[in-house]
Structure 1
Amino acid sequence: MGRGRVVLKRIENNKTRQVTFSKRRNGLLKKAYELSVLCDAQVALIIFSSGGKLFEFASTDVGKILERYRQYRYGQQEYKLAIEHDNQVTYQDILRLKAKYESLQRSQRHLLGEDLGPLNVKELQHIEKQLEGALSQTRQRKIKVLLNQMEELQEKEVRLEELNIQLKSQLEEESLHSATPGPSNPLCFGSHQRAQPDGSGVPGSLGGIGNHLQAWFH
């Protein structure tokens, strides 16, 4: 027959309770040792008997393991508190932005002349001042834009005048250049070559004949 299931309750017999404690304690210490060796884990085990006797096991050092546990435990709590605080702050920011958005929407509708019925005299006066301020800024901006456009037109006018003067000067120079006569050509038709008294102006062959005729007459 197999072993029956042990009922988990306090053992009333003192001697039996002490025997069971010793057996189970040794088994628990053995399991803790095996876990640290097989899994390379840091294990600390602290046991106090009903009589107040201390039994402990640690894979490295009980104090170091407890210090690590304390830092991790309180660090986790601080991390959770920080997360909760950030979530709370984010939720408050969302609510504040939502309220601001709704207020801006109401202001926009009021400036457009909508939903003015529930407003009192003071709120209407505030809207009136806002409209007057916006109108004043619009006028100032309009004047500035017009002045800038006038300056641009004046600059364009000056550039066109300068360009007109340059073109006029170029046309005058071209007209003067075309009216000036060029150098005379010695081969032009209608020109006459004056003969020299000594016959040097006569062509070579005719000049020789003239000399012979003069010799015959002498």
Structure 2
Amino acid sequence: MRRGKVQLKRIENKISRQVTFSKRRSGLLKKAHEISILCDAELALIIFSGRGKLYEFASDNCMDRILDRYERYRHAEKTVVVNESQPQENFRHEYGYLKSKVDALQRRQSHLLGEKLGTLSLKELQQLEQQLETSLKQIRSQMSQQLLDSIAELHTKEKSLLEQKTLLKEKITESENILKMLHQMSPKEQSQALASSSSPLTVSSINIGTCYLTCSSVPHEFEDPHLFE
């Protein structure tokens, strides 16, 4: 009994569709293998299932070489067509090529923003997720490096400020010690101490208690006008 002609339309039943795909896929791969051997032909076959799973066959297991040959052939064919066509045709082809590139970039940008993902297969979604994770790792690494640089710069500034603070404390302590020594001296000893100082003259007379001293020189530490109030 002859089989009825199968109507070519989408099989609505999911299980029947999967069974038919499995059978037809196996037959197609078998035919591809046979024609590659019988006819000594280079053949590449690529199949994506409805779930996004990849099935492929290449004669001599050289898929990359066959695809490279296909790209070279297509490029040479396009070059011949362009050379033989009119300038207006050249512009039309170039416009179509550039427009397709722009459309692809816009779709890619939409996908990166999480938009229009319904047209992507499972494998494409996984690739997109991996690319986003790689970009996030690079961004986080750059942020961490900038934070570390900022912290190191702040530590350097803190160390410099602490050194300046220590130096100022030493100067203040030294000045206080000198003042304490002067207060413990008699007016005559104070006059002799000031006269033996190597600092330039800055004050003509100094009032210490009820005594007035005329000095030829005075240390820099005594240049504060409130020193002997």
Question: Which TM bucket (shorter chain)?
Answer: 0.3 to 0.5
When the two structures are superposed, what TM-score results if normalisation uses the length of structure 1? 0.41
Larger Cα-atom Rg: 1
TM-score (norm 2): 0.39
Instruction: Work out which structure has the larger RCO, using CA pairs closer than 8 Å and 6 or more positions apart in sequence.
Output: 2
